[in-house]
Each structure stands twice: as C-alpha cells, then as structure tokens.
Structure 1
Amino acid sequence: MHVLLLKEPKDGESGPDPYIKELESYGHTATLIPVLSFKFVSLNALKDKIFQPEIHGGLIFTSPRAVEAVKTCLLPEETRQEWETSVKNQWNKKSIYVVGKATGALVVKHLGLKPLGEETGTAEVLSRVIIEREDTSIPPLFFPCGSIKREVLPTALRDKGVPLETLTVYQTAEHPDLEKNLKNYFNKLGIPASVAFFSPSGVKFCLDVIRRLSGERLPGIKFGAIGPTTRDAMVGEGLAVGCTAEKPTAEHLAAAVAKALEKPAADLAS
C-alpha cells in the first residue's frame, strides 16, 4: 500500500530514508514530501553563546535543526579547531540534554558532545528529567530553538526555578512547493492508504490541502502520528487518528502504520 510521509528527508543520509526503509520491510511503498522550510537566524549570537560554556549550566537540543545551527557556526576552520581543542571538552563536563535518538545522534556526530535524554521522546518528558537532575542554583541552561517552539519545556523549568536562557536560531515556514508536491502525489498515485504527520506544523500546513484532494475518501485514510504532541494537534483539527508511534523512531512508526493498515477503517481507535 502507499504511505505518504509528511517530513523532510533525513539530513546527510546515503541510501533510503529510514522511514521508507522500515515501511518497505512491511511491504508498503512510502513517499516523502517535505513540509517545512528553515532559515537560520542569530548565528553570531549563537556562536558567542556556545563559546562561553563557563556561563551556562548545560545545553538543551530539542530538534535536529538546532544542532545544525550550531554546526554551521563551527564551519570556519579556526573556529572548529578551537571547539575541538578546548570548548567541546568544557561542554562535555556539563549536561547536554536532547529529545530523541535522531537529535542525540547528530549531537554526537556533528558536535562531539555526549547527550542525555535520547529515550525521552518528548519535551514534556525531558523537562521532568532535567528538573530531577538539576539544581536551581546552577548557571542557566542554554536552549537554542526554533521560532515556533512549544513552551512546555521552558515553562516547566521556570516553574521549578531551573534557570534557562533561550535563543531563536532558526525560523520555520511552510515549504514553498508543499501544495504543488501534494497535488502531484495525489494526481500520480491517488489517495494514499496512510498519511503520517511528524509535527503540529505539518498538520497546520497540510491538512486542508489533503482534505480537498481526498474529498469523500478522506475517512478511508489511516492517519498516523509520530508522537503524542502531533496526535493532539490532529485531534484538535477533528481528524481521526489511526495510530501513534510508541516512540519517535522509524521502527516504531512503521510498526504502528503497518498495524493500522491491517484494520478496517471502522475499527481504528483515536
């Protein structure tokens, strides 16, 4: 069956995207359509912050894009050399918090840092881990983030008195070719058996177009969510959610979608 994945291709991957590969193992054909476009901002301010580990209690990364922003700051050879010889080691003496394995892997690969929290999966769970581990007397944790970040983690930390400093390092917008790409997909392949959303932004930018293109056949699509935050956004838009990945990984999403596709539409539980 055809599965539509509303996500960006995994950065730096050779070969098939892991979500496509996992769904293929269940006998399904998956297609990626990028939903978002990103623009880095405040990189000079970001560079200043990451080269001052002594004034921060640790780092927080909740998205791969924030890691990419830091990586971009380290591109000049002299800057990278300073990072490798001294700054990186200073950060590794502190806590480097991440949400999810994908973000954690990029922190290791691109920054050489040792992440904590890869198994948390959501900002809500990570905030609880941070609160359990950190003291209110520490220097502020530094949190480079996107322009449309949710306030769950900052609010939770501040409510418990854990110092936090945020900096918007990328802006998120709808991909300029999104509607065109969706129309091309539906014209070529027809109504997908399943559509998987990967963020509340994806729901916001895609759902109206998908409803128009699907028409009366919309109820026959098995809609999947990468996690509870995305699921809640789908439910908030009145969409019946057929499955939610237990963890935000290719393996768990593929398993959830494959299981949902085995069921008649009337049997799906939100």
Structure 2
Amino acid sequence: MKVLLLKDAKEDDGGQDPYIRELGLFGFEATLIPVLSFEFLSLPSFSEKLSHPEGYGGLIFTSPRAVEAVELCLEKDNKTEVWEKSLKEKWSAKSVYVVGNATASLVSKLGLDTEGEKCGNAENLAEYICSREPSALPLLFPCGTLKREVLPKMLKDKGIPMESITVYRTIPHPAIQVNLNSYYSTQGVPASITFFSPSGVTYSLKHIQELSGDSMDQIKTQGPRNPERNCLQLGLRNGCADAATTFAAIGPTTARALAAQGLPVSCTADSPTPRALATGVRRALQPPGGC
C-alpha cells in the first residue's frame, strides 16, 4: 500500500529516513516529496548573539532549521574551533529547550543536552518552560518567519523573558508540481498523504487540487463519500478516478490547516514521530478506520 509523505528526506544513523523505515515495518511503501525550501536570514546578527552566552538564560529550538542556522553561523564565521573550546561549554551550562526528536538529535550533534523534546508542540513546550525555575536572563529563540505566537505569548504572560530572532524563511520547493505529477503518473493514487506543516499544506495542496480537477470542490461541499473511513476521494485526471486517499497530519496545527481548507483529516499523529505517524496511518487505513 503506497503512502506519500510531503517532506524532505532526513537519513538517520542507519542511512534511511526514519519515516520510510517505520512505515515499511507496517507494510507501507512510502515515498518522500519535499514541498518546502528555506532561506536563512540575519545570520551575522545571530552569530553575534551565539558568541555571548553570558547574556542569555538558554536556548529554544522549535524546528530543525533553527539548529541548522547555528551550524551555518559556526561555519561561515569560522567559529567551530571557538565553539568547541569555550562556547559549547558555556551554552551547555544553560537550558536548551526543543520540540521533537528530530530537532533534539540535531542539537545533540552540537554537543548540547536538550529538554522538552517529548512535549510534541510549541504550546506544550511553553507550558514545560513555564514549569521550570525561571532565569532572569532572556531565552534566545531563533525562529522562522512563519512562527506561531503561542509560545512567545505564553512565556510573556508568565513573565519569562525571551528574545526572538528570525533566522530563516519558508518558501515553496521549486519542484513540487513536477514531482507530484511524476509520482501520480508513475505510482498512481496513494492510500494516504501526510502533511508535515501548515506551510506544506499551503504550498502543495493547490497542486493536488490541480490533479484532482473539479472533484476537490465537491469534496469540500459534500465531504468524504465513505464517512466510516473518513477518506478523501480524489478523481484524478490520469484515469484513477474514485481512488480513495486519506489525509494525515503530523500534528494538530497542521490538521487545523487542512480543516481550514474544508478537507477531512483521517489521522493526526499522537506525537511528531515516525512511530506515531505509522501507527496512526495504519489505524486510519484499516476498516472501519478512524484514528
């Protein structure tokens, strides 16, 4: 059974994307199609802040891209040696909060210990931070242009100082349409499509709509034809009409983005991890389904 994942590949220590591996354990043939690209911003300013850990109470990372910005700062400014000799130790003495295992793994490669990775989303992480002993110094929060305001607002309401800096912006991957067309023409209709971010919904859904033709409007007004399985019926132009595809989301924020488009969500992963997604997709695709 084919599953389409709208994300870029991230190989683990075993040389395979963990989502591909976990879905494969459940008998799914998963394919990755990247839908997002990133441009890094304000790296000189961010590099300067990283050089002065004494001015901060800790770090907050809510995405792998923010960690990559740290790596770029160290490479571009030839600070890798300084990081290993002194900066890493100074930042290690402070709290480093993260969302998700993927982000935590990247932070650990910088030599820093993390906490909060099991919180699952920014809102839960904010609650976790608020439960800790607050620092008088601000937490440094490198983020993207599309960051949600939940975490900053919750920390502000609790009187926890935080300094955010925008270090990247999200843009559509230049090959979304070509890759989707190629997938559907060669692989046919997938049993499930998983979205990994609201911006991923924004940038890829229009191309799926183009493949679906007029049937997408009917879905929005009439809902899925088989409510027991909560499936999305895609009448595709390539001759695979009436094939059923479930829509899955990696988390509640992404699920809300799909719902805002009037589309049914078959499955929202219990946590943003490969195992949770694989388990959820399996439940959604097993009659009578549900997740």
Q: Structure 1-normalised TM-score? A: 0.93
> Among residues 249, 256, 260, which one is paired with 1:232 in the alignment?
256
2:157 counterpart residue number: 159
Identity of aligned residues (%): 53
2:61 counterpart residue number: 61
Q: Which moved more, 1:156-165 or 1:57-66?
A: 156-165
SS at match of 2:59: strand
Q: Tell me if 1:223 matches 2:223.
A: no
CA deviation after TM superposition for structure 1 residue 10, in Å: 1.0
Matches of 2:148 and 2:275, distance apart in 1:
25
1:186 counterpart residue number: 184
SS at match of 2:23: helix
- In structure 2, do the counterparts of structure 1 residues 5 and 107 end up closer, same or farther at CA, with 3 Å as the change threshold? same
Q: Tell me if 1:97 matches 2:131.
A: no
1:124 counterpart residue number: 123
Question: What do residues 211-239 of structure 1 show as CA deviations (whole Å, max 9, x unaligned)?
Answer: 33134432821111111111111111111
Contact 2:104–2:114 (CA under 8 A) maintained in structure 1: yes
Contact 1:192–1:221 (CA under 8 A) maintained in structure 2: yes
- In structure 2, do the counterparts of structure 1 residues 196 and 119 end up closer, same or farther at CA, with 3 Å as the change threshold? same
Contact 2:10–2:16 (CA under 8 A) maintained in structure 1: no
Matches of 1:173 and 1:206, distance apart in 2:
11
- In structure 2, do the counterparts of structure 1 residues 141 and 11 end up closer, same or farther at CA, with 3 Å as the change threshold? farther
1:211 counterpart residue number: 209
Matches of 1:12 and 1:255, distance apart in 2:
20
Q: How many residues align?
A: 265
Matches of 1:37 and 1:58, distance apart in 2:
28
Contact 2:107–2:113 (CA under 8 A) maintained in structure 1: yes
CA deviation after TM superposition for structure 1 residue 249, in Å: 0.6
1:79 counterpart residue number: 79
1:112 counterpart residue number: 111
Contact 1:98–1:117 (CA under 8 A) maintained in structure 2: yes
- Unaligned 5+ segments in structure 2 are 216-232, 235-241
Matches of 2:21 and 2:265, distance apart in 1:
23
1:262 counterpart residue number: 286
Matches of 1:148 and 1:86, distance apart in 2:
33
Matches of 2:262 and 2:77, distance apart in 1:
51
SS at match of 1:104: helix
Q: Structure 2-normalised TM-score? A: 0.87
CA deviation after TM superposition for structure 1 residue 268, in Å: 4.0
**Which amino acid in structure 2 is aligned with residue 257 of structure 1?**
V
- Unaligned 5+ segments in structure 1 are none
Matches of 2:23 and 2:83, distance apart in 1:
39
Q: Which moved more, 1:68-77 or 1:198-207?
A: 68-77
> Among residues 159, 174, 184, which one is paired with 2:172 in the alignment?
174
Matches of 1:77 and 1:195, distance apart in 2:
40
CA deviation after TM superposition for structure 1 residue 16, in Å: 2.4
SS at match of 1:112: coil
